[in-house]
Amino acid sequence: MRHPDSGLGRAFRNSLVLESPFPSCARTLVASTDSTLHPVSDSLAAIDVVTLPKARTKPEPETRTDVLVIGAGPTGLACAIEAQKIGLKVVILDKGCLVNSLFHYPANMSFFTTPELLEIGDIPFTTAQQKPTREEALEYYRKVAEHYELDLRQYEWVKTVTGKDGNFAITATDRAGRPHDYHTKKVIVSTGYYDLANQLCIPGEDLPKVSHYYGEPHPYYDTDVVVIGGKNSAAIASLDLWRHGARVTLVHRDAQLHNHVKYWIKPDIENRIKNGEIEAYFNSSVQEIGLDHVILNTPGGPLRLKNDFVFALIGYHPDYDFLRSMGIELSEEQCRPVCDPVSLESNVPGIYVAGVIVAGSRTNEIFIENGRFHGKQIAEDLKKNLRPGFRRDRQAPAL
């Protein structure tokens, strides 16, 4: 089964990784004999870990910067570019690779958006077809990072942010668990939502056959797969799996697919369901997942289905605990960070929020298309606060 971490084997050849940069799917990862990473059981991990060299413990020197951006997604990159454009020193940290979330999207996906709407830093993005593929988007953001010579530190996971406006201390750990310390005047948090999957909270959800991320169809050929969800991800995965020879059952709690399902995907999935090519249970839920079966709650009563794999594609959410750990207040209902809607400065002076996290649990409100403008909003405020000769306290008071 493709797992969000699976591609990391290439990036981490010959290196020891004790902590997955994908927390929701936390599994122990160890370097195996062929130097790729494999999920392993805890007991095996313990055996392998003691045989490998110890991580270096010598502390790295501290880095000082004007602005530190947490998260190198499209928004974090846009923020870094705009801050750099006004002459500030910027460091970006990401716990995974550049645009880590996009890297973990389904392998053969195309974006819904035309390429110009994914552009950042005024760098044109053109693609062979009308919609960019994941590969094209990854290449685009690599080129943008290269063009702006961004100070991007990949595989550094920010664990703590302390201090106050003008003097924040940040500690990150790298892939070997070594600490890295940073001091910064301002912090921009753009940590996205794709790391933490919404949970079903049912028995069997932790079985290895269950995934909250869809990768690619081949491993599911000639198997019985249940896809849970009623939005784009569930519809696209169901179609892709069915087209590659899996027997697919779609289970959705509502009476029909969500009206956000794209207009070119909806008729496709609806016709597959109508033809009986994909089985679908609406107004239904999965009650329990077993090794070789699932039990559904359907309007007609409980139903036991033979099953090999389950994809629970029911959405993701920001890391609320991480935001709260910095003192950022979240709204009661939708966990939106309290912030100035123009400058995006949070209730903690000097800490800005950007990208999809601004929408809290309403993750469909902000995406690349609109989150990419947060960089300019924040840079406007930074200009007043940080740029030499343009300090807010030197401005004439309003009459």
Residue 312: strand pairing partners: 228
The residue range among 38-46, 88-96, 200-208, 238-246 that interacts with ligand FAD, by the rule CB under 6 A, is 88-96
Residue 105 makes contact with ligand FAD by CB under 6 A: yes
Question: Based on CB atoms, which residue is closest to ligand FAD, 20 or 284?
Answer: 20
Q: Which of 25, 158, 225, 251 binds ligand FAD (CB under 6 A)?
A: 158
Residue 135 three-state SS: helix
Residue 195 makes contact with ligand FAD by CB under 6 A: yes
Q: Are the beta carbons of 307 and 334 closer than 8 angstroms?
A: no
Question: Based on CB atoms, which residue is closest to ligand FAD, 10 or 54?
Answer: 10
Q: Give the closest residue to 205 by CA, choosing from 314, 92, 345, 100.
A: 314
Query: How big is the site for ligand FAD, counted in residues (CB under 6 A)?
Result: 33
74-85 vs 134-147: helix crossing angle, rounded to 10: 20
Q: Are the beta carbons of 4 and 103 closer than 8 angstroms?
A: no
Q: Which of 6, 28, 75, 84 binds ligand FAD (CB under 6 A)?
A: 75
Q: Which of 237, 356, 359, 382 binds ligand FAD (CB under 6 A)?
A: 356
Site map (CB under 6 A) of ligand FAD, residues 231-270, x = contact:
--x-------------------------------------
Residue 70 makes contact with ligand FAD by CB under 6 A: yes
Who's near 385: CB < 8 A, 6+ residues apart? 186, 391, 392
Beta strands in the chain (DSSP E): 29-31, 37-39, 63-70, 90-93, 152-153, 157-164, 167-173, 179-189, 210-211, 224-228, 247-251, 279-281, 285-289, 293-298, 301-306, 309-312, 351-353
Under rule CB under 6 A, which residues in 367-386 are in contact with ligand FAD?
367-369, 371
Q: Give the closest residue to 199 by CA, choosing from 114, 286, 277, 270.
A: 286
Residue 318 makes contact with ligand FAD by CB under 6 A: no
Under rule CB under 6 A, which residues in 115-154 are in contact with ligand FAD?
none
Question: Based on CB atoms, which residue is closest to ligand FAD, 243 or 306?
Answer: 243
Q: Give the closest residue to 301 by CA, choosing from 329, 281, 321, 330.
A: 281
For binding to ligand FAD (CB under 6 A), which residues are involved? 70-76, 93-96, 100-101, 105, 109, 111-113, 157-158, 190-192, 194-195, 233, 322, 355-356, 367-369, 371
